[in-house]
Chains A and B, each alone.
Chain A
Amino acid sequence: MATQTVAATKMAQPEINYLNHERGLKSWLLTLDHKRIGLLYLVSVVFFFIVGGILALLIRWELLQPGQTIMSAETYNHIFTLHGAIMIFLFLIPAVPAVLGNFALPIMIGAKDVAFPRLNLASWYIFWLGALTMLVGIVTSGLDTGWTFYTPYSTMTSSGVTWVVLGAFILGFSSILTGLNFIVTVHKMRAPGMTWSRLPLFVWGLYATSIVQILATPVLGITLLLLALERILKIGIFDPALGGDPVLFQHFFWFYSHPAVYIMILPAFGIISELVGTFSRKGIFGYKFVALSSVAIAFLGFLVWGHHMYVAGQSATASTIFSLLTFLIGVPTGVKVLNWIASLYRGSIWLRTPLLYALAFLFVFPIGGFTGIALGTLGLDVPLHDTYFVVAHFHYVMVSGGLLAFLGGLHYWWPKMFGRLYNEKLAQLAALLIFVGFNVTFFPQFILGTQGMPRRYFDYVPEFTLLHQLSTVGSWILGAGLLLVAAYLLHSLVKGQPAPANPWGAGTLEWTHTGRIPSPHNFERIPVVTRGPYDYHLAEEIFGNGHQGQEAAVTPAQGQAPQPESTR
C-alpha cells in the first residue's frame, strides 16, 4: 500500500510538516513555500472580507427604512463604494486562486512548488502594498465614485480617487504574478504521468483563470493609469470637458472588469468539480467538456464586455454583437451545470459540509445565470440596467462563486491545511444559515429591480420598504452564519480532532500522496501518475484489498466524534 509508507514513517517520529519545520514570524514572512504563502493570503483576504462584510451590513442597515437611518447620503456613497472596491479587488479576485490555488495547485499536479516561488511571495507583498496605497486615499479623503470609477464623476470628485486607482494598479501586478506563476507551473511542473487529461478540474479552472488574469489585468492597469493622469495632468482622453469621451472610459474599464468576473467564477467552477467528484465518488460527467469549456469561457469572456453599456450610448451595432456573444457564453456555462448534476447520477453521495456548499452553489448559481440571460437581452436590459436586479444578479453569481465555492473549498482542504477536523454539525448548520440568509437577502432585490429601484440609492420611495426590510433581515442571517463559521474554524485550529491524511476518500494527489499535513516539499518522492483524478474504481491505494477508504476511520456513525487516523 503505497500511501501508507509515507504515513507510517511519519508515525514513528514527531511529524515534520510545512507548518512546524520552521518557526517564528520571520520564517512565515520570508517563506517561499506555496502552502505558507497560501495561508498568508488566507489571513489577508479573510481580513478584507470581514471589512467588506461589515460595510455590507452597514449598507443594509441604512436601507432598513426610507430616508436617513444611520448615516448621511455622503457617508452611504463612500460606504457602498468601499464595499464594492474591497470585496472585488481585495477579496474576490485573490480569494480562490491566491489562497486555495496557491495551497493546492502544485500538490495536485505533483510539483514541489510553483515555478517561481520568489515571485509568488512578491505577489503577496505587492498585494499589501496595493491595499495600503488604496487605504491612504480612503483614509485621507474617502472614495465615493462607485467601484466603477466612471468619468467624469471620478475626475471631478474631491475624494481620494487617485490614490485608490494607483492602489488598484499595484494590486494588478499581484494578480498578474499569481496568474503567470500558475500557467508556467501547469505547463512545466507536472509530475510524470500527469497528462493534460489527468489534471484535476480545479487545476483546469485555475489555469483558465490565469489566462484571464494575464490578458485582462494589464488593460485595467493602463485604464487606471490614464484615469489618474486625467486627474493629475488633464490629458483629456476620458473627460468630456476637455474633449474626451466618457463612453471610451467605459470600454476600457469593462474590457478588464467583465473578464474579471471570470477571474472570480472560473476557479469556483473548479472547486465545484472537485467537490462533486469526491463526494459522489464518481468521475465528472463530460470531464473533457468541463475542462475545456473553462478555457473557452476564459476567451469568450473577452468578447462580451459591451453588454454593460447598452444604455450608455454605445452604438446599436456594437450592442447587438455583444449581446449575441453574451448568449454564446451562456451555453457552455449552462452545460457545465448540467454536467455536474449528471455527475451525481448513480453516484455514492456523501453529504458533508463541502458538498453542501457545492449543492448550494448549484442552486444559487443557475439563478445568477438565468438572470444574466435577461440582462444580456437587449430589450430586457434597458429597464433592468442599473437597478437592484443587477445588484441581485451579480451577488447571485459572485457570492455563489466567490463565497460559497470559497467556503466549500476551504472546508474541503481545511484538514489538509491544518491537519485538523472541524465540528461537522456546526458546519452544516452554518452552511444552512448562509444559504438561507443569502437568498433572503438577495432574492427580494430581484423584485425591487424589476419594480424599478435603481442601485446606489441612499434613499427610496416608500413602496419598496417591505422588500428592503426583508433583505436587511436576510443580511443578519447571513452574517450570523459567517460568524458561526469563524467560530468553529478557530476552535478547530486549536482543539480540532486530528484529521487523517485523506478524510474524504478523495483521489487527487494532495490527499493520496502527502501526509496528514504536507511536508515542506510536499512529496518525499515525486509521484508517478497512472490514472485520472476521479478514477476511484482504479484507486487501489484508497479502496483496494478490501480497504474501505480512510474516511471509514472518520465516520463510524454520522455525527459521532471522529477518531484519529492512528487507529489503522
Chain B
Amino acid sequence: MDENKAAFEPRIIAFVCNWCTYAGADLTGTSRIKYATNVEIVRFPCTGRIDFMLLLKAFAAGADGIIVSGCHPNDCHYTSGNFHARRRWIVFRGLLDFLGIDVRRIHYYWVSAAEGAKWAEVVNQTVAEIRELGPYTEYKKVANYIEETEAAHE
C-alpha cells in the first residue's frame, strides 16, 4: 500500500435494515468489538425500502464506498423485503456496471442481529477494499459540475 492510500480515509455510507443489521451493529458496539470508524449508518425499516437513488445520492454527496446490508434470506421481518431488494440490486448492478459506475464500491451483505462480529469484519473489509480503490473522484467531479461557460470551471 503506498503512502497516499494509507493517508486516504474512505467515507463509507451504510444503508442497513432496522431489524437485523442495525441490531447486529448495535451488538458489535455492546460487545466492545473495535472496528473502522469510516462508516456512517443510515437505518431503514427494511432493505426492501432502500431506494436505489439513495446509493447514487450517497456517491454524489461524497461517499467513496457504500454498504447495503439486511437480514439473511428467509429472516426478513416483513417476510420478503430482502428478496425484493436482492432482485432490485441484481438489476441495478447490471445497469450501473454498463454505465461505468464502479460497482466494486457497493458492498452487499447479510448481517443478522446476532452477527456483531461479522458487522465489524464487513466494515473493516469494505474500508480496506475502498482504501485500495482510492477516493471516488471521477463521480465527485461530475457531481460538482454545472457548465463549461465559466472560467472557474475550466
Indicate whether A and B interact.
no
